[in-house]
Amino acid sequence: MELRVGRLENDVMSIYEMLTTVQTTLVEHTQRFDGIDGRLDGIDGRLDGIDGRLDGIDGRLDGIDGRLDGIDGRLDGIDGRLDGMDRRFDGVLPDVVGERPRIVFCGEAGADSTRTREHRYDTPGNSFWESLHLSGLVPEPLGPGDEDRLPAYGLGLTDLVGRRSDADGRYRFDVDELAAKLARWEPEWLAVTSKALGAAVARHLGERAPSYGVSGLELAGAPVYVLPGPSGANRRHDYDGRPTRLAWWHDLAALVDDPHAGER
């Protein structure tokens, strides 16, 4: 009996020793896990710092993008101003045309002259604006500075642009560009303000050069009417059987409200 009790005491002691070892091991592992958690918390903190720095970089990049957009806008503005300067030095002014005009008057631009201009038909002695009023196409006298008022009367201004070719030095008019504009505007009449312009349109269409008045030509669906040149240098006693240039303007004014005039 004493032997059995002794053996049991030894077994109990062994169990206590094992439990003590297990408890020590658990404490050690717990401490190691706490250390790992601390290191992970440190890594999370560092990652949060990296995220913050990346957010800062994103903000700076957004700022750079905004500045670049501003630079692009300024460059676009410069391009627009340069285009405007090019047009002025070429003698090409912006078109003045409203919706569905009755008449679009077409002059010449881009000639070899180095003169720049602010308005159309503004040279001394030019009769365009006077004829516009005397023919009844506008109810009051207007001048070159009033061109923006013409769309209110169903009238418009454009130019047939001509340039000298670098290849052969020949002077050519861009009739295709004018035709594309007329297709958008759909005027009742295209009135060219010289025989030279009428001849350029006719040549483009493969037709003979017209005289003054209704030409029988159509460009992009618009019948073409040829007016005498209004320049002060174009003064004489006969304009294809008419004593004055104004007579051809009166005829044009009479045609505007005639729905079958372009069919003649």
| Tens-digit pLDDT string for the chain (264 aa) | 777 766 777 777 777 778 788 788 777 777 787 778 788 888 888 888 888 888 888 888 888 877 777 776 676 655 544 444 444 444 589 999 999 999 999 999 875 444 567 889 999 999 999 999 999 999 999 999 999 999 999 999 999 998 776 666 677 899 999 999 999 999 999 999 999 999 999 999 999 999 999 999 999 999 999 999 999 888 887 888 899 999 999 999 999 865 444 444
Contacts of 190 (CB under 8 A, 6+ apart): 103, 104, 106, 182, 219, 222, 223, 224, 225
Q: How many structural domains is the chain composed of?
A: 2
Residues 210 and 253 in one domain: yes
Residues 123 and 49 in one domain: no
Helix axes 195-205, 175-185, angle to 10 degrees: 90
Contacts of 51 (CB under 8 A, 6+ apart): none
Last residue of a domain, one of 55, 90, 125: 90
> pTM for the whole thing?
0.64
Residues 75 and 99 in one domain: no
Last residue of a domain, one of 38, 61, 90: 90
